[in-house]
Structure 1
Amino acid sequence: MAEPQLVKTRVQAGIWEGELTGPDAAPVIEVTHLGDPVEGVEVSAVAGRAQVWLVRFPLPAGRLTDGLQCFVLSDAGTGVTLGTVTVQVDLPDEANLRAEVELLRAELELLKAAFRRHCVDTGAV
């Protein structure tokens, strides 16, 4: 089976939407922000497209504050990180460096997970 791929399609009315390709059955997707779960995650089949799933979740207004906020999407069954959603809100100039470091950390976590998966898949442990 191919690696699952999550691609953002849009954000509308505070709802993030993306398409997940790869899984044969509907996956259970978990979204977290600062380690806490985000409620309201929906996964549904895309009509006429096999192994394609629409993933939706509301961006919680109570979690949006100045700076960058990272939401992590993962497969609840395997724990594999599928992607991140980063929301930038009114970044003051002095916080630019800190915001960049936070974004780099989130991206590094994605790369680490992908590398570990690659090592397990190829037997290069």
Structure 2
Amino acid sequence: MDEVTLVKTRLQAGIWEGELHVPDAVSTLPEIEVTYLDQPVPGHTLAEDPEREGVWFFRFAVPSELINDGVQTFVMTDRETGRVLNSLSMIAGEGLSEDIRAEMDLLRQELDLLKRAFRRHCLETGAN
């Protein structure tokens, strides 16, 4: 495969970390751009792995001012080609937890309905 790939290794303490794999056939490193809502986000680094040929460490600090309620997506692209190399989606906030609680409540109600119907069925058919 002759394409550059960016593989996530972890997200810890607000820092997204990955490995940029550059095949021998690629002569120049891509210039990685991180965007949020189509706006560039600064604060990323690229450092060569001294132990592995063609592997670079990519680090991106997620700006705390961009963490809000709802879903936020950060996209990492090759600036020259526009090809998406990877992305980070974060879900946060009170609105989300309310949605999950409402869904859980609905599931509990449906389960109670099924339990009552099953018990009624067992009584009507004489099953134990």
Is 1:92–2:97 an aligned residue pair? Answer: yes
**Greater CA deviation, 2-11 or 85-94?**
85-94
Q: Which of 44, 47, 50 is the matching residue for 1:44?
A: 47
TM-score normalized by structure 1? Answer: 0.68
Q: Which aligned segments of 4 or more residues in structure 1 are displaced greater than 3 angstroms?
A: 23-26, 92-95
Matches of 2:76 and 2:99 in 1, distance apart? 29
Partner of 1:16: 16
Distance (Å, rounded) in 2 between the aligned partners of 1:42 and 1:72? 15
* Cα pair 1:71 1:86 within 8 Å, conserved: yes
Query: Counterpart in 1 of 2:125?
Result: none
How far off is 1:2 after superposition?
Answer: 1.6
Percent identity between matched residues is 44
Please state how far the C-alpha of 1:19 moved relative to its aligned partner.
Answer: 0.6
Query: What is the total number of aligned residue pairs between the two structures?
Result: 96
> Tell me, which stretches of 5 or more residues in structure 1 are unaligned?
96-125
The question of whether the paired residues in 1 share the 8 Å contact of 2:34 and 2:77 is answered with yes
Per-residue deviation at 1:12?
2.1
| CA deviation after TM superposition for structure 1 residue 26, in Å | 3.2
* 2:57 pairs with one of 54, 59, 62: 54
TM-score, normalising length: structure 2: 0.66
Whose radius of gyration is greater, 1 or 2? 2
Which of residues 49, 74, 77 is equivalent to 1:74?
77
Q: Which runs of 5+ in 2 are unaligned?
A: 101-128
CA contact (8 A) 1:18 1:56 kept: yes
1:15-41 CA-to-partner distances (Å, cap 9, x unmatched) read 111111125443211000001111111
